[in-house]
Amino acid sequence: MIFMLLVLNEYLKEYPVKKIVQALYNNGISVKGDKLFLNNVEVSISSLANALNVNRRTLYETIKFINKNDVVRTIMENISVIPDISKISLLMGYEIVTIYINIGSFPKVLWEVMCLIKKYSSYIKEMYSMNSDLESNFIRIIFYSEIDKNIFREIDEIPGINRIVINSPVKLNIICNKCEIKICPHKISSELSKTDIL
């Protein structure tokens, strides 16, 4: 994501439409021809203009600009939104672990974390990561259920990790120098077994 923003910034740095294109990109809104889409759902120009606090003419001019530049058009045609369940995961009884990584340590940390997940046979629901030289790097993993707490002692020892945030639907007793624990006891999911889910 960051790399694409850098490419867009390079092509847009001298143009007033830069902020609008970045807003479209950041919100996952693609431009196909003279229309705007959120995945496969067409977005109203009027509604989006109101949301971005610009007039419709400005938005139409931005779309024309995007379509005139091959690189920008290719990027903006292929943007899509990936559903993010992290905000509702705790309600479903899932456990969320976010590992914040020092710049330059991402590949090694990712490899070692994945090896530990395999070692402890943890069931992953969703995983998202960001490796950037500009922002904080992280790996966010959503697990189907509470995971073996011994994994955190081993993750704590991986060089390059500066913080681990654990969001859980149950109270945890974890000894980990880098761990920050957040509890949300409001589970609403049914009592499906792991085998039912998988």
Question: 60-64, 136-140, 160-164, 192-196 — which is least confidently predicted?
Answer: 192-196
pLDDT digit string (tens) for 43-92? 999 999 999 999 999 899 889 988 988 888 888 899 888 777 777 787 78
pTM (2 decimals)?
0.66
pLDDT digit string (tens) for 121-136? 888 989 988 886 656 7
Q: Are 177 and 157 in contact (CB under 8 A)?
A: no
Q: Please give the span between the terminal C-alpha atoms of the chain, in angstroms, as a whole number.
A: 30
Nearest C-alpha neighbor of 180 from the set 119, 96, 94: 96
For the cut 90, the answer to whether the pLDDT of residue 36 exceeds it is yes
Per-residue DSSP letter, 54: -
What would the mean pLDDT of 147-172 be, rounded to a whole number?
87
- The alpha-helical segments, DSSP class H, found in the chain are 2-12, 18-26, 45-52, 56-68, 70-77, 106-119, 150-156, 194-197
Q: Are 164 and 102 in contact (CB under 8 A)?
A: no
